[in-house]
Amino acid sequence: PDLGRRFAERKRCADPECSMLMCRGKAMRDFKGPDCRFVNFKKGEAVYVYYKLIGQSTELWAGSVGSDFGYFPKDLLEINHNYSNEELELPTDETDFVCF
């Protein structure tokens, strides 16, 4: 199916609103995203994960660095703390993939 601007049709979250933190990790190297839907970070920065895309795009997670929020490749994160082991599978929304 053509997802348009969507990276995936489903996501895993810790709560129905995807507002609870799932985990925290440390950036293993610098990352600069291709557009405003991605969050940029430097090696060693703390990255907070709110949801994980599943389906076509399992390599992208969504999270925050400071006050910035966006997508990043999960392989760049070394998880050092899990906040929740609860994972709900939910459909993604068009608003999950817009720039704010």
Task: Give the domain CATH number at 64.
Answer: 2.30.30.40
Domain count of the fold of the chain: 1
**What pLDDT does 85 receive?**
87
Residue 88 domain flag: yes
Q: For residue 71, is it within any domain? A: yes
Say if residue 86's pLDDT is above 90: no
| 33-72 confidence digits (pLDDT tens) | 999 999 999 999 999 999 999 977 668 999 999 999 999 9
Q: What is the pLDDT of residues 3-35, one digit of tens each?
A: 456 788 999 999 999 999 999 999 999 999 999
CA distances from residue 19 to 13, 34, 84 in whole angstroms, order as listed: 8, 25, 12
Q: What is the largest CA-CA distance in the chain?
A: 37
Q: Which residue has the tokens 């599978």?
A: 89
Residue 3 lies in a domain: no
Token duo for residue 38: 């991605």
Phi then psi dihedrals of residue 66, to 5 deg: 60, -130
pLDDT for 100 equals 63
Q: Domain limits at 57?
A: 12-96
- Whether pTM > 0.95 for this model: the answer is no
What is d(CA 100, CA 82) in angstroms, rounded to the nearest whole number? 27
The answer to whether position 6 is within a domain reads no
Task: Identify whether 5 is part of a domain.
Answer: no
